[in-house]
Structure 1
């Protein structure tokens, strides 16, 4: 057994070294503009990418260099930025994307090239991190393949579950932020979509004096499968507000990934909640007896208050029909009952050579080596650039449609078993949360939606706002300048993978908030039920234990949640609510982490691309005599990473 384990280790190390020589620079070009779409039959000007909605899916392999040139062709003069949601940007904080935190806006007709190495695998997404542009459709999916994958499966699909608004996002945000107008309500979605497709009743569209195509009724996305096979469904929720409840009639969901973290195969369930900003993957075995089944996405609207007039004049459309449908269609004819039993017994196994795709700890050896070298290293000249759209020509988000009967004749389970996010999703690598804490931070989230509010209060009663910045906050950190109070900055007092930060989050409103941390994953240690009130040390501390690890998790309304993360990624990292109108109005803060390490890495060596981008907006980033600059890390940094991983792995 010892020899076999050693052989597995050597095989894995060899695979890592081979990947360093075969890693590609995967290149994409994205052009952002408004264009006409009818995803639900109703005309709208969507803000999208390459005149595609949903935006094109980007794909790469682990350790590839992802290079994406983004050009702003927005016709009305808006600036924009792109955030690579879930990518931790270790040693590349400049590429994270939040406007005026790590970069200046990309102005009209300007371009910026994001470039970073993908040292993690799984399901991610990219989206605008500029005002409310995500609501108008500026988002897309990113998939990073792990070779070999942790779990075996026969094929995969992508499900995108999201809300949809007919009014422009600028009007929605302005209405929400105007407390006199919104009175504590949220802009109510007109409808919801699956992979950018749905239906809105044309009789209501006519009441809004907008055109509508009635043929969209009876139009459903279709996912074609083969009987007896097991498929991975990567599920993404880029909604502005609601969570979505996913189910597939007569088929079980087996979770294997949350926010890029590979998990042990969970107990099969009937339904699973996908919160705003999150991703999950499920294995689904095709063991049905029929030709086709409904896939269901139910918008969770319970907390969306309609006590006062809404900017959506007809919220009853979605209230009365909150479920969106797609079709799971078998390519082959139905099988007999005996065949079904055989299928159930052929459950695929976890791959023994698979390794965690999203490690918890950032590579300290690589950081120290980079510090000694005086900054990130140049990309080796032998890096091979490939066109991403040509290399990965199949876009899994864009699926065919069924437009006429027969439709499935299946029903939901009467008493469905739902995935328990408190107890599920143990990471495949077996690691657990650190059992010590170096710094505790209490974050109180006020009731941002009280009808009597005269403004939208933020976390700890500080409303997050970047408009006071004269240059990106990361630049200010490196120059030793104070960050404005409007960023709600919180200093992390130590640094390293052994320095653990605990967040005690108390929500005092009714709605709850999906909270996303940039640059890290965090551990859920515990959370209260709705109406439990704030965290009480004597009552709630004994309940804390290592649970799942991810980077977006919801605290329930009028309740508490405790998270822990390791402060081992130097930079400025945003922590915010991913309900877009909440963040756009107030709910965000920044953690200042490893400030001294960041200054050693980048002081007087600000990336030239950052300087050039800011100069397009008349912002001077580097106004002293220093001419130093850095280049973005690539495969040479990865070679050092291979050495570090190899040395650690052989000691296991």
Structure 2
């Protein structure tokens, strides 16, 4: 009871100058839990408890979080997903949180203070670790900004989080994934999906009421479908952007995405209903027989009557396409762009045998100095030179006030949800998938053709901060560079981020330097990690053109060693071992060779490797 009282006292808001300041003291640590009832594991909690708390604030409120790293041997950090941290509104870029981008990683025993306001944003967001794949193990929760002027009415709201679950700790899964023994780059298959951090969740509805459901996918990898039996969803908010009401019965949420819907309950309580969550199975390289692909959550009107039965959908084609939603404020399309960034997505192996992810053949590798530190300490004459930020991070320098167009072409047949820090973007093109032809054969990439776009540009394009790019397809996004700072653009499948699928936008660095100051707390945390407080990406401040020691991706595969080469080598080795085994058996046992059996074994080895035998 004393522990609970202390915890509550830490999160009670206090009033300052008419607004509310919400103060939290959080210490990270491992907490024994069993989220799916099938496997006990260590989850990442705050102050000895997991799940970590959702945060609710109002527009204009201040948030102060003192995050102490309670791990013994892991760094940590916090990112407030979707929050702009706009310096023109009194905030600081280093409140954004990704380690080695806008802050140094918080070392064990250290405390970093996140102190910011939410002056003009509303809606559904979340906060999570931005250190490795740490949030996979539960260091994430909702961050809701309430608005007294919402353009819709409801009686009650519910915050509903979906996620995926891995039974092994995130760092073990990461090591197995980024391994030469996984040359195809097959993403780790989760062992389960969760609803509000459990498999035993339910929702209570009262008859004849309007509910606002705030749905968030806070998982690492798998997108999910959401369907409620015999109820409609009216979409009213997406990623913190109000939209004109759009009625659907099926939602799709990639990791990082949020959507708020109105649901009107039935007029009587004579029946309970099913809410279904289902994995996007197309994202899985293989589907283990024991993997449960969908779950049924009870929507209880009356617990005393029969429960809803397990619910399945055979067709997901009616899912709403966010490209066709319209923002409530009717913001018009930016007429043209001032600067276009083209990013080609590829996945390939490098010289260490590991499969990496690339923008324009560059796989992101964190610099020795946070990119923000380089931006605020560089000589003014060099601050707009992308060279000083390193050739290892996909650095793009943006001028203040420019309209930026980001073209992303997918040369991979998988879906990728891309997230931009510090901004919402207009979605002006979003292709369908070209991963598979109608006859089932593999498709070919279709990059964006500026002279002949697939769709007419919308007059009032949808805005959000996380958008799904389809396999072999493309997306085109626009935003205005009016928020000086260092902002990541990356795939929010965290495994892909770990593979290096990220870029960094250095936005209006001259304007950033006018107000951005490194606090004593910032400097102390960097010093604890022996990270320089001045210098280029390689940590050199005496010669800003010296990139000696810059962390970079591994070298390319030697000439002739391709993925097919590895497969051929593996097949040849397997064939040789079968041959040796056969010779040994023949010599020891003096039995006749079974040619048909040998043929079938060889055929299976080749088929497993994707080859055929003539």
TM over 0.5: yes
Q: 1:447 to 1:109 in 2, by over 3 A?
A: same
Residue 31 in structure 1 maps to residue 32 in structure 2: no
TM-score by length of 1: 0.72
Q: 1:288 to 1:408 in 2, by over 3 A?
A: farther
Q: How far apart, CA to CA, are the structure 1 residues paired with 2:177 and 2:336?
A: 41
| Contact 1:298 1:324 survives alignment (8 Å) | yes
Aligned pairs for 1:167-566 (under 5 A) are: 167-198=168-199, 220-266=200-246, 268-287=247-266, 290-306=270-286, 315-318=288-291, 321-330=292-301, 406-409=306-309, 411=311, 418-448=318-348, 454-466=354-366, 468-469=367-368, 471-480=369-378, 482-492=388-398, 494-496=399-401, 499-531=402-434, 533-540=446-453, 543-545=456-458, 546-566=460-480
Q: In the aligned structure 2, how far is the partner of 1:609 from the partner of 1:177?
A: 34
Q: Contact 2:426–2:463 (CA<8 Å) still a contact in 1?
A: yes
TM-score (norm 2): 0.77
Greater shift in the superposed pair: 186-195 or 281-290: 281-290
The one-character-per-residue Cα deviations of 1:10-55 (angstroms, maximum 9, x if unpaired) are xxxxxxxxx9941111111222101100111110011222333321
Q: Secondary structure at the match of 1:600?
A: helix
2:495 paired with 1:574: no
Stretches of structure 2 lacking an aligned partner (at least 5 in a row): 1-14, 435-444, 536-614
Cα distance, 1:606 vs. partner? 2.2
Judged with a 3 Å threshold, the aligned counterparts in structure 2 of structure 1 residues 511 and 179 are, in CA distance, closer, same or farther, namely farther
Deviation at 1:607, TM superposition (A): 2.0
* Secondary structure at the counterpart of residue 85 of structure 2: coil
What is the CA–CA distance in structure 2 between the aligned matches of 1:557 and 1:419, rounded to whole Å? 17
Instruction: Return the alpha-carbon distance in structure 2 between the equivalents of residues 449 and 622 of structure 1.
Output: 34
Question: Match for residue 134 of structure 1?
Answer: 135
- Write the distance in 2 (CA, Å) between the matches of 1:193 and 1:182: 29
Residue equivalent to 1:146: 147
Q: Deviations over 1:221-242 (max 9, x none)?
A: 1211211101000001011111
Cα deviation for residue 540 of structure 1 reads: 1.2
Q: Is the 8 A contact 1:67 1:113 kept in 2?
A: yes
Q: Distance in 2 between matches of 1:449 and 1:330?
A: 53
Q: Distance in 1 between matches of 2:115 and 2:472?
A: 41
1:52 paired to 2:49: yes
Q: Give the match's secondary structure for 1:610.
A: helix
CA distance in 2, matches of 1:20, 1:548: 36
Distance 1:443 1:157, change over 3 A: same
Change (3 A) 1:323 1:412: closer
The count of residues paired between Structure 1 and Structure 2 equals: 495
Distance 1:331 1:441, change over 3 A: same
State whether residues 447 and 510 of structure 1, in contact with CA within 8 Å, keep that contact through their aligned partners in structure 2: no
Cα distance change on mapping 1:101 and 1:155 into 2, 3 Å? same
* Distance in 2, Cα, partners of 1:59 & 1:305: 38
- Distance in 2 (alpha carbons) for counterparts of 1:411 and 1:485: 50
Local SS of the residue matching 2:512: helix
Return closer, same or farther for 1:332/1:241 CA change in 2, 3 Å cut-off: closer
- Separation in 1 of the partners of 2:317 and 2:473? 24
User: Relative CO higher for 1 or 2, CA cutoff 8 Å, sep ≥ 6?
Assistant: 1
Output the CA distance in 2 between the equivalents of 1:433 and 1:54: 40
Any stretches of 5+ residues in structure 1 without a counterpart? 1-18, 199-219, 307-313, 334-404, 624-652
Show the counterpart of 1:62. Answer: 59
Contact 2:183 2:353 in 1 (8 A): no
| Distance change >3 Å, CA 104–CA 280, structure 1 → 2 | same
**C-alpha separation between the residues in 1 aligned to 2:391 and 2:193?**
37
CA distance in 2 between counterparts of 1:570 and 1:265 reads 33
1:592 maps onto 2:506 in alignment: yes
Distance 1:179 1:54 in 2: 34
Structure-2 separation of matches of 1:514 and 1:618? 34
Structure 1 stretches of at least 4 aligned residues deviating more than 4 Å after TM superposition: 410-417, 448-454
Aligned to 1:72: 69
- Greater Cα radius of gyration, structure 1 or 2: 2
**CA pair 102-96 structure 1, distance change in 2 beyond 3 A:** same
SS at match of 1:282: strand
CA distance in 1, matches of 2:16, 2:461: 33
CA distance in 1, matches of 2:351, 2:107: 36
Q: Aligned pair in 2 of structure 1 residues 416, 138: CA closer, same or farther (>3 Å)?
A: closer
Q: Is the 8 Å Cα contact of residues 29 and 68 (structure 1) preserved in structure 2?
A: yes
| Distance verdict in 2 for CA 1:294–1:114, change over 3 Å | same
Determine if contact 2:185/2:355 at 8 Å carries over to the other structure: no
SS of residue matched to 2:389 = coil
Q: Distance in 2 between matches of 1:417 and 1:254?
A: 18
Counterpart in the other structure of 1:103: 103
